Amino acid sequence: MREMGLRSKISRKFYPSKHPDIIVSTPFKRPVRIIVVRGASFAVCRWSVITATIIIELSNVYMSNVSPLVNRLKNIAEAGAHQLNCSLDELRASAAQAQFSLFEVDMAQLQSKGEFLAELAQAIHAPDWFGNNWDAMADALSDISWQPAAGYILVLHNSGEQQSLPVTDYSIMQEILLDTVVFWKAEGKPFWIFFC
């Protein structure tokens, strides 16, 4: 099959169901109707093949509905530990739109490693095998199979309060978190840590 450069004209029509219906003009002078529902495309016509060019053009139409923060969150190379510089509501909405799991730990009242690990275990909905030690934290964060997602975000509230954990424990926690980011990058998924 020969590749054709399509310059399809795409028009959007919205029906009462509020699902967009897209008509794509093809070089064959027969329109192809594609219904897009939550990112999945379904061809509704006699054609059994939709060229990659049309699909790329359709995805570009819908990229305009995605916030810039969602695009940044999906960027694996940029994932890491950062100071949060947007509102928590914006982060939560973008995480949901990107289909990421978001975990929040409030460090304000934590006084020990045990308290921090218990709070983290609760935030990530850790399984029963989660122990009260740093190895368990490292194991759990590198295997979040009970929380399948396109990526992960850990928000550490009041994390500027280093005195909430002893200096040695705070340093170990940071090292494990950074190792977790590196691990998930190798797996092809972004893992973000935001301090706020």
User: What pLDDT does 114 receive?
Assistant: 93
- Would you say 158 and 106 are in contact if contact means Cβ atoms under 8 Å apart? yes
3-state secondary structure of 71: helix
Q: What is the pLDDT of residues 59-76, one digit of tens each?
A: 443 444 568 899 999 999
Residue 111 reports pLDDT greater than 60 = yes
This prediction has a pTM of: 0.66
pLDDT in tens, 19-55: 344 444 444 444 444 444 444 444 444 333 443 333 3
pLDDT for 132 equals: 86
Domain boundaries, the chain: 10-63, 68-195
Look at residues 104, 64, 57 and name the one whose alpha carbon lies nearest to residue 84.
104
CATH code assigned to 68-195? 3.30.370.10
